[in-house]
Amino acid sequence: MKRFCIFMIIAIFLLAGCASKVVQTAQPTTSVVTEKPLSSQGDGTKGRGGITEEELARAERERLLREQENRAAALLKDISFDYDSYTIKPSELPKIEAVGNWLKQNRAVIILVEGHCDERGTIEYNMALGQKRAEAVNNYLSKNGIDTGRIKAISFGKEVPVDPGNTEGAWAKNRRVHFKIDQKE
């Protein structure tokens, strides 16, 4: 049983390793693949008491997703917007194109396209505005050949600011579309 468990973990890593090679910045992943299974084995023996294989596998999946996200974050940069606007600024187009290229190279990935607003406005209107921002980005991506089924628009209004401050700088950071890998897929 234990051997099977370890086998599964290694198998997951190998698979993940294959998948991550598609990513352009594959260099750091190789070192991760050689290191991590050892520590995971340790976890496996520790976990015999209470943690089930399923939980272990899930924890691994989550860890891998986080890694993939961290790598993606470097490539999938936030798209910024003017106040009370969901028009894409010309300066942001190269960023969206980079996202499109990344999606073309990672065909299995589905991303959440999150629309966010700064705090200056009503809760309800900002919820709709965030949706429009996310959809404006999605429109551009789909015009660039990305299947609309892979880009899910979701608005968070002003509920999840990156910077809780009340300055012009904080507001500018918060008016954004943020990309996230859909963890459900």
- Footprint of another protein (CB under 8 A): 84, 119-125, 127-132, 135, 152-157, 159-161, 164, 184
Separation of alpha carbons 157 and 130, rounded Å? 5
Separation of alpha carbons 131 and 12, rounded Å? 36
Residue placing its CB nearer to another protein in the complex, 13 or 171: 171
For residue 83, the 8-state DSSP code is T
Tell me the one-letter amino acid at 40.
Answer: S
Q: Which residue is it, tokens 């993940």?
A: 16
Q: Which residue is it, tokens 């990305």?
A: 146
Residue placing its CB nearer to another protein in the complex, 20 or 155: 155
CB of 138 to another protein, least distance (A): 9
Residue placing its CB nearer to another protein in the complex, 23 or 170: 170
Residue placing its CB nearer to another protein in the complex, 63 or 132: 132
CB of 85 to another protein, least distance (A): 9
CB of 43 to another protein, least distance (A): 27
Separation of alpha carbons 161 and 156, rounded Å? 9
